[in-house]
Amino acid sequence: AMAIAQTAHGKAVQEGLSFTELIPDDPTKQVGTLAGEVGTRSGFEKVIKKPSDISSRSPLQDFYGIITPSDLHFERHHAGIPVIDPNKHELVIHGLVDKPMVFTVADLKRFPSVSRIAFLECSGNFRTGKEAMSPQDICGLTSQSEWTGVKLSTLFREVGVKPNASWFLAEGGDAAIMTRSIPVKKGWDDAIIAYGQNGEALRPEQGYPVRLFLPGWEGNTSIKWLRRLELGDAPWQTREETSKYSEGIKGGKIRQFSFDIDARSIITFPAFPAQVEKGWIEIRGLAWSGRGKVVKVEVSTDAGKSWHIAELQEPVLDKAHVRFRYLWHWNGAETEIMSRVTDETGYIQPTFKQLIEARGADSGYHFNPITAWQLKADGRVLNKPENVR
């Protein structure tokens, strides 16, 4: 990571040359950069996240396949990204256990490990209101990695979780000392104490050196920079599971502990800001469900009047982003295109209207409506915000 940049792009940055000054007239006539310690991204690629102070959105419209490059994984943190020394960091597990214990990061890596490719999504992942919005703007707070770590169930056995433990508190070592209460059942089911992301150590933005990873659950519950787990018999009612990450539903009620990410899909191509030509277009997008596998993605190219089955790229994994594709011949006439996913529980991605009807207007988190794109006759692709509808 601290290696001297080895390639043309790295050298340009180090020597203050502009990248374009390095472009050879004919690359076949001059020996290229020699092999390096760390590879580079091409200087021609301007793919970046969109940051605010508290989050940064993945450029979904620029992605291929299902893996999110780790440095383009979305960010959401409540007090910035801490710098944590992995040689000093420890995870304490205590409370309703036979034997309260401390694990160093090295200890955690000695246990049997598991890897899985799964998405992470912030449950507040929805924006609308303008036509000039890209998939990144609308729902860029989702990304996917291959996560590696120790199953939490293994650690539960190691400390001897007591039968009356029904919830646990997960606590981060960042400046928010972020906390969430999690049902113990999730810990036994499929929770991972992760230290690996896409083949390497977690990135600082994603919880280095160790985080909780709860497949399919709203991102905030997968506590980053994890320092402590306390087993208890009731939820703690932390600020993040009361004041935040709760949503208004019908009858003035407020729903909390809505953990599962509801199934969702979005067409990422063609999508704003792309401009397309008439003729054959491969409609491409991502679909996922926090409740299991994606079983079907349908695409409509006539504003929702009729739906076609999209192809799903193998492997179609549990609680994972799936790449879908639908080959379509566009005649050049103005229309609307959209996708909707069905997951293995039979849940079908709803429309904005269905969601508002079901929950009332004062809702918020877990808003996963079908996203429609207006395709203009000149090939521009614009978000269709609800106020235009």
Partner 1 sequence: YLIKSDSIPARFGFGRVATSTEIARLDIDIRPDGKGLPAGEGKPVAGKVIFAQKCAACHGVGGVGGPNGSLVTTTDPTKKRPEKTIGNYWPYATTIFDYIRRAMPFSEPGSLTDAEVYNLTAYLLNANGIIDDKAVVNAKTLPNVVMPAQQLFVPDDRKGGPEIK
Write out the residues near ligand HEC by the rule CB under 6 A. 78, 176, 239, 243-244
Distance CA 373, CA 382 (A): 5
Considering only residues 138-167, where is the footprint of partner 1 by CB under 8 A? Answer: 151, 154, 157-158
Q: Which residues touch 388 (CB under 8 Å, ≥6 apart)? A: 131
Q: Which residues touch 137 (CB under 8 Å, ≥6 apart)? A: 50, 57, 127, 130, 383
Name the binder of 43 from its own copies, partner 1, Co ion, none, CB < 5-8 A by kind.
its own copies
Please give the single-letter amino acid code of residue 48.
I
User: Do the beta carbons of residue 238 and residue 182 sit within 8 Å?
Assistant: no
Shortest distance in whole angstroms from residue 48 CB to partner 1: 26
Residues 15, 17, 102, 110: which binds its own copies (CB under 8 A)? Answer: 110
User: Do the beta carbons of residue 266 and residue 250 sit within 8 Å?
Assistant: no
Binding of residue 313 to partner 1 (CB under 8 A): yes
Binding of residue 306 to partner 1 (CB under 8 A): no
Residues 33, 40, 246, 335: which binds partner 1 (CB under 8 A)? Answer: 246
Shortest distance in whole angstroms from residue 77 CB to ligand HEC: 9
Contact string 206-245 vs Co ion (x = CB under 5 A): ------------x--------------------------x
Residue 57: which of 129, 138, 146, 133 has the closest Cα?
A: 138
Shortest distance in whole angstroms from residue 357 CB to its own copies: 34
Name the binder of 225 from its own copies, Co ion, ligand HEC, none, CB < 5-8 A by kind.
its own copies
Residues 1, 2, 25, 34: which binds Ca ion (CB under 5 A)? Answer: 25
Binding of residue 26 to Ca ion (CB under 5 A): no
Q: In the chain, what is the greatest distance between 2 CA atoms, to the nearest angstrom? A: 72
Instruction: Decide: residue 251, CB within 10 A, 0-12 exposed, 13-18 middle, 19+ buried.
Output: exposed
Residues 53, 305, 331, 361: which binds its own copies (CB under 8 A)? Answer: 53
Considering only residues 177-236, where is the footprint of Ca ion by CB under 5 A? Answer: 230
Residue 344 Cα distances to 268, 290, 291, 318, angstroms: 23, 10, 8, 9
Binding of residue 46 to partner 1 (CB under 8 A): no
Give the nearer residue to Ca ion in terms of CB position, either 137 or 230: 230
- First vs last C-alpha separation in the chain: 49
Considering only residues 101-130, where is the footprint of Co ion by CB under 5 A? Answer: 123
Binding of residue 35 to partner 1 (CB under 8 A): no
Strand 335-343 relative to strand 322-330, pairing: unpaired
Within a 10 A sphere around the Cβ of 317, how many other Cβ atoms?
A: 18
Residue 240: which of 214, 259, 263, 264 has the closest Cα?
A: 259
Distance CA 81, CA 71 (A): 14
Shortest distance in whole angstroms from residue 28 CB to ligand HEC: 14
Chain residues in the site for Ca ion (CB under 5 A) = 24-25, 230
Chain residues in the site for Co ion (CB under 5 A) = 123, 218, 245, 258, 365
